[in-house]
């Protein structure tokens, strides 16, 4: 509670009136010289002369960059590398979701074992609980949770709009009530950046409004314009406050299902020269075709030398299709959330281990799978654990599902390096049955 109150004070009486001041920092030399056009820098980030003139601390920040290793000839798929303060991320990458300072039911060493390179932390959740005083005193999120690889933090925007009650959006930010105890809270671009800074995030996300689906054009446009102004303020805050700190900041493209709005949003963000670009407002209940269209309507306007991140997606074939559309980064709760319902991912689609057909099945979830679950436990045993509501059951499926997602991304990267991505894509998507999360027979 204390943490929240401190931030409330900080943002309402402190940050808010300074907005215009902060916006002026957007014209600072650092930002101006780091602006590059998308075309100039393709296919590799160029270390230009201006970078060499930065001081040491700023240089360490500038050293971090995205490198395109190879691109697919038949699609927009890319194999890349993103440098962060906590290590290099090979892309395309899947980021397990660590909502409350833990990827549900797993330890950091288990995450390393299944091949996680980077995880996502939730600004909204960690802001409310344990609160920033705790995280700060414990030395940041990496140290708090014992994870020493990269962390990307979201902006809190999505949760404010999906979880909290009684929210009120103003130009300044969003007033809302905590979904935990109803306490009044406030998030703004500056507060979101401050929180992500306190968390010690490697990759900050700009504070955005994520409109619902469906959403009328007029609202979508007004919302994305506000999100652009908020992105401006985020960029202002980070340029000033993160000078020399090895942090990356990503903008978020909004615009709903409207092609021109996606373009407008993307171009507006690119003008602010973020370190990467997310495509938001997807996975909010829209049909898969709309989701793909949102990517198709945004991606062409994003610089090729910066990573692209599709937020909150998706099923395994969706990931493959998004990679083919030029997306480099993904996060999704499906592998961990479905595990808790007894659902496991396989190359032929999901299976629900509660089903009677697995009752005495002594095979692992997937023959030949290298995960620790498939090395040691049968479908029959896992089914028993899930039916008996034993925690070990969801633990074992969580490990398998995360391994499946992370292994899929490894396969994609290998195929891109080998120049065989088109074949891999066709084969994988054809093999994978349509995703049916609710399929369960007695």
User: Interface with its own copies by CB under 8 A: which residues?
Assistant: 100-102, 104-109, 129-130, 133-134, 137-139, 144-146, 359-360, 362, 376-378, 380-381, 383-385, 387-388, 390-392, 394-396
331 is catalytic: yes
Rounded Cα distance between 202 and 200, Å, is 7
Q: List, in sequence order, every residue forming a beta bridge with 250; answer none if it has no partner.
A: 205, 276
Give the dihedral sign, CA 250/254/259/265: negative
Rounded Cα distance between 185 and 1, Å, is 10
Instruction: Let me know: does 274 contact 229? Beta carbons within 8 Å.
Output: no
Rounded Cα distance between 394 and 385, Å, is 8
State which residue, 108 or 276, has the beta carbon closest to its own copies.
108
361 is catalytic: no
Contacts of 440 (CB under 8 A, 6+ apart): 342, 352, 354, 355
State which residue, 137 or 440, has the beta carbon closest to its own copies.
137
State which residue, 158 or 381, has the beta carbon closest to its own copies.
381
Q: Which of 72, 154, 197, 275 is catalytic?
A: 154
Q: List, in sequence order, every residue forming a beta bridge with 247; answer none if it has no partner.
A: none
- Least Å distance between CB 407 and its own copies? 20
Convert 21-69 into a string of H (helix), E (strand) and C (coil): HHHHHHHCHHHHHHCCCCCCCCCECCCCHHHHCCCHHHHHHHHCCEEEE
φ/ψ of residue 308, rounded to 5: -120, 140
- Least Å distance between CB 124 and its own copies? 13
Phi-psi map region of 105: left, alpha, beta (phi>0 left; psi -120 to 50 alpha): left
- The residue ranges of DSSP E strands in 47-132, in sequence order, are 66-71, 78-84, 87-91, 93-95, 97-98, 119-121
State which residue, 198 or 298, has the beta carbon closest to its own copies.
198
In the block, tokens 């395994």 appear at 316
Q: What is the largest CA-CA distance in the chain?
A: 67
Instruction: Let me know: does 377 contact 393? Beta carbons within 8 Å.
Output: no
Mode of pairing for the β-strands spanning 276-279 and 308-310:
parallel
State which residue, 22 or 379, has the beta carbon closest to its own copies.
379
Rounded Cα distance between 24 and 240, Å, is 10
Instruction: Let me know: does 433 contact 349? Beta carbons within 8 Å.
Output: yes
State which residue, 91 or 198, has the beta carbon closest to its own copies.
198
State which residue, 200 or 280, has the beta carbon closest to its own copies.
200
- Least Å distance between CB 405 and its own copies? 19
- Least Å distance between CB 387 and its own copies? 7
- Least Å distance between CB 102 and its own copies? 5
Q: Which of 72, 296, 331, 414 is catalytic?
A: 331
State which residue, 122 or 265, has the beta carbon closest to its own copies.
122
Rounded Cα distance between 262 and 277, Å, is 12
Rounded Cα distance between 290 and 213, Å, is 10
Rounded Cα distance between 135 and 354, Å, is 39
- Least Å distance between CB 380 and its own copies? 5
SS3 at position 145: helix
- Least Å distance between CB 1 and its own copies? 11
**Closest by Cα among 277, 126, 270 to 196:** 126
State which residue, 61 or 147, has the beta carbon closest to its own copies.
147
The residues annotated with a catalytic role in the active site are: 154, 331
């Amino acid at each position: 509670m204390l943490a929240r109150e401190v931030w409330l004070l900080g943002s309402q009486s402190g940050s808010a009136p300074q907005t215009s001041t902060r916006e002026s920092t957007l014209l600072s030399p650092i930002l101006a010289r780091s602006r590059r056009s998308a075309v100039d820098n393709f296919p590799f980030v160029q270390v230009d002369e201006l970078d060499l003139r930065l001081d040491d601390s700023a240089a360490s920040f500038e050293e971090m960059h995205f490198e395109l290793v190879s691109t697919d000839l038949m699609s927009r798929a890319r194999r890349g590398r993103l440098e962060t303060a906590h290590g290099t991320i090979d892309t395309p990458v899947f980021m397990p979701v660590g909502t409350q300072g833990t990827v549900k039911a797993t330890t950091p060493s288990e995450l390393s074992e299944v091949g996680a390179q980077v995880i996502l932390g939730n600004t909204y959740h960690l802001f409310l609980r344990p609160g920033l005083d705790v995280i700060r005193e414990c030395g940041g999120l990496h140290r708090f949770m014992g994870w020493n690889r990269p962390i990307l933090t979201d902006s809190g925007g999505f949760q404010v709009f999906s979880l909290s009650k009684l929210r009120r959006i103003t130009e300044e930010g969003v007033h809302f009530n905590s979904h935990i105890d109803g306490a009044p809270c406030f998030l703004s671009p500056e507060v979101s950046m401050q929180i992500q800074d306190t968390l010690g995030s490697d990759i900050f996300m700009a504070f955005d409004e994520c409109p619902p689906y469906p959403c009328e054009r007029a609202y979508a446009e007004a919302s994305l314009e506000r999100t652009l102004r908020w992105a401006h303020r985020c960029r202002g805050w980070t340029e000033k406050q993160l000078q020399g700190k090895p942090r990356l900041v990503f903008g978020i493209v909004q615009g709903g299902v409207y092609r021109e709005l996606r373009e407008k949003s993307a171009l507006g963000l690119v003008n602010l020269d973020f370190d990467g670009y997310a495509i938001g407002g997807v996975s909010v209940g829209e049909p898969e075709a709309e989701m793909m269209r949102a990517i198709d309507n945004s991606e062409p306007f994003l610089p090729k030398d910066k990573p692209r991140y599709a937020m909150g997606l998706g099923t395994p074939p969706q990931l493959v299709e998004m990679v083919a559309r030029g997306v480099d980064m993904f996060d999704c709760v499906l592998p961990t959330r479905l595990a808790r319902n007894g659902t496991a991912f396989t190359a032929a689609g999901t299976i629900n281990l509660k089903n009677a057909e697995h009752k005495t099945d002594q095979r692992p979830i997937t023959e030949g799978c290298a995960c620790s679950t498939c090395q040691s436990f049968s479908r029959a045993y896992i089914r028993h654990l899930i039916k008996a509501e034993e925690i070990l059951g969801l633990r074992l499926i969580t490990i398998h599902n995360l391994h499946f997602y992370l292994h899929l991304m490894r396969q994609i990267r290998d195929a891109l390096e080998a120049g065989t991505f088109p074949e891999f894509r066709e084969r994988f998507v054809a093999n994978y049955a349509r995703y049916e999360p609710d399929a369960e027979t007695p």
